[in-house]
């Protein structure tokens, strides 16, 4: 069975492959099926954008398609950057990881301790050629320290800014153990919700 993973982010692709490993699924990327189109993310919520992408690429490829949308939500900034996470600085283009990290620290510089709660949240959408659509949501909460971690995983800038107090670590691939990466990973939690549908509906 083939499942199209509709993302150009290699980090996301690797995570999905990792957390669905061991199942009889042949993972294919947009590049594998020759799709170079990008979808204008016009939704006002993560769910709307995830569904938009899943349905578009499913129709384009004729394959069951998994897509997601998510971002960083900071309580003290009324949920910003939210759906604008990668276009927070300039709505006309995606900013680099380094730019987003620096901008977040600047926006948070006057926010006192105790009010720096934030979360990474995502919605996964599974679209099938027969019109079936399923979604799942998951998040991981923590705080934004005064400074980011010294290292960051490429393609995941906000993980360098989310500190999980109960672990005493940043939500960062490089700092978490393999077990912690599994237990706390919010993409895995969303995938676990969708896995029964993936296994049931994929031919």
Mean pLDDT of 160-170: 95
Is 50 within 8 Å of 63 (Cβ atoms)?
no
Q: Which residues contact 30 (CB under 8 A, 6 or more apart)?
A: 4, 5, 6, 7, 8, 36, 57
Give the C-alpha distances (Å, rounded to integers) separating 68 from 12, 18, 102, 166: 9, 16, 25, 27
Residue boundaries of the structural domains of the chain: 2-201
The pLDDT assigned to 152 comes to 78
64: pLDDT confidence band, cut at 50, 70 and 90?
very high
Taking 80 as the threshold, does the pLDDT of residue 73 lie above it?
A: yes
Taking 80 as the threshold, does the pLDDT of residue 202 lie above it?
A: no
The pLDDT assigned to 203 comes to 61
Mean pLDDT of the chain: 92
| CATH, domain range 2-201 | 3.90.950.10
Taking 70 as the threshold, does the pLDDT of residue 165 lie above it?
A: yes
Mean pLDDT of 158-184: 92
CA distance 155 to 142: 19
69 tagged catalytic? yes
pLDDT tens figures, 116-130? 999 999 999 999 999
- Of 32, 68, 69, 97, the catalytic one is 69
Q: What is the pTM of this model?
A: 0.90
């Amino acid at each position: 069975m083939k499942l199209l993973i509709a993302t150009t982010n290699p980090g996301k692709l690797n995570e999905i492959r990792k957390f669905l490993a061991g199942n009889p699924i042949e993972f294919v990327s947009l590049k594998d099926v020759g799709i170079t189109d990008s979808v204008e993310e016009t939704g006002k919520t993560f769910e709307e954008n995830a569904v938009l992408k899943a349905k578009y690429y499913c129709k384009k490829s004729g394959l069951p398609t998994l897509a997601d949308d998510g971002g960083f939500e900071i309580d003290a900034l009324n949920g910003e950057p939210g759906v604008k996470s990668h276009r927070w600085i300039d709505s006309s283009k995606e900013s680099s990881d380094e730019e987003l990290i620096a901008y977040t620290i600047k926006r948070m510089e006057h926010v006192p301790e105790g009010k720096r709660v934030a979360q990474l949240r995502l919605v996964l959408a599974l679209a099938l050629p027969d019109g079936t659509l399923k979604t799942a949501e998951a998040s991981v909460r923590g705080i934004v320290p005064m400074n980011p971690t010294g290292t960051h995983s490429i393609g995941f800038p906000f993980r360098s800014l989310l500190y999980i107090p109960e672990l005493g670590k940043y939500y960062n691939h490089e700092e978490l153990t393999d077990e912690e990466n599994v237990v706390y990973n919010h993409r895995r939690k969303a995938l676990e919700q969708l896995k029964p549908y993936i296994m049931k509906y994929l031919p």
